[in-house]
Every structure is written in structure tokens, then in C-alpha cells.
Amino acid sequence: MPNAKVLEEKKAIVASLAEKMKNASAGVLVDYKGITVENDTKLRAELRKNGVEYSVVKNTLTRFAAKEVGFDELDGVLNGTTALALSMDDAIAPARVIVDFMKKNPKVPFQVKAGFVEGKIVDVDTIKQLGELPGKDMLVAMVLGTLNAPIAALARAINAIAEQKGAPAAAEAPAAE
């Protein structure tokens, strides 16, 4: 039985991890066994650049934290070497960076175990599908571009009608004083 000090330290770690998991938009659990220091350094740098917190976690402590948050389903994957990638803002970032890393390094025995997105547990296939999506900024740009397209088309149509009727084009019209 661990002494009281060690037990309190472990409880604090579990509480901190549970809080992070609860507040995270997404998290991905990976088996990092066999990854080289060089590859691990590259992966960590890329994760940091994308606002993802990545750390090696003890399975027992993660199990307690997961139960506290209601992620009991993760219990089955919490064995062997485990690292956790968490993002507070971008629900796609951990999956995207890890899947991209796996594509670029197919010989590295690095595997996704499971994950969660917006409070729901997701399987490996879902993580891989999320990893194929573009980043949050790109998705926002795509939506805004889609919303802007009809307005731009309407402006071009009005401009063409004005030119047909002999009025100066909107771009050529004198500025109002």
C-alpha cells in the first residue's frame, strides 16, 4: 500500500487528467511502442504547432480519470504503452496530426487505440476518418467560401444586366459624394 503522500500525488494527477479530458474537444490514445526519439520529437513538435497537448500516461491513472469523466469504454484499450493527445479547441487536430504522422512514417509501429470527440468515445476507424479532414481553419474557410459564392454570383449577374442596359458597371460607377 502506497504511503499517504504518494496516494495524494496520484489523486492529484488523476483529478488533473480528468479535468483535461472533460474540457478537451478531442483526445486520441495511441500506442507509441517502437517509435524512435527522432520520430517522437517530430511528432511532438507537429502536435504543439497544432495546439495539441501530448503526454505519456500511466494506464491505471488514465483508467481512473476516464471513469471519473464517464469514459468507461476506454478501459479495454488502456494496456501496454499509452500516450494521450488532447486538444482543447480543435476537435480534429489530434486525429489529423497523428494520422498524417502515421502516413508519413508507415514503418513506425505507432497505432491509434481509441479516442473521444466532444464527450463521445470513438473507435480507430472514426479517428482515421477525422484525420483525413482538413483543419479547423480550412473548414471555416470552405464554409465561408460556400456562403460567399451565391452573393458573388448575384453581384456578377447584376453587373452584367447593368452593362447590357448601358449603365456603367458597378466597378466603374463614380463614387457618391
pLDDT by position in tens, the chain (length 177): 568 888 889 899 999 999 999 999 999 999 998 888 999 999 999 999 999 999 998 999 999 999 999 999 999 999 999 999 999 988 889 999 999 999 998 888 889 999 999 889 998 888 888 887 666 666 677 677 777 777 777 778 788 888 888 766 555 555 554
Residue 166: predicted pLDDT = 75
Are the C-beta atoms of residues 21 and 69 closer than 8 Å to each other?
A: yes
Helix (H, G, I), strand (E, B) or coil at 55: strand
Using a 10 angstrom Cβ sphere, with 0-12 exposed, 13-18 middle and 19 or more buried, the burial of residue 110 is: buried
Residue 176: predicted pLDDT = 52
Residue 139: predicted pLDDT = 65
Return the domain boundaries, the chain. Answer: 4-133, 134-170
Residue 3: predicted pLDDT = 83
Query: What fold is seen in the domain 4-133?
Result: Alpha-Beta Plaits (3.30.70)
Q: Where are the beta strands (DSSP E) in 94-146?
A: 111-117, 120-122
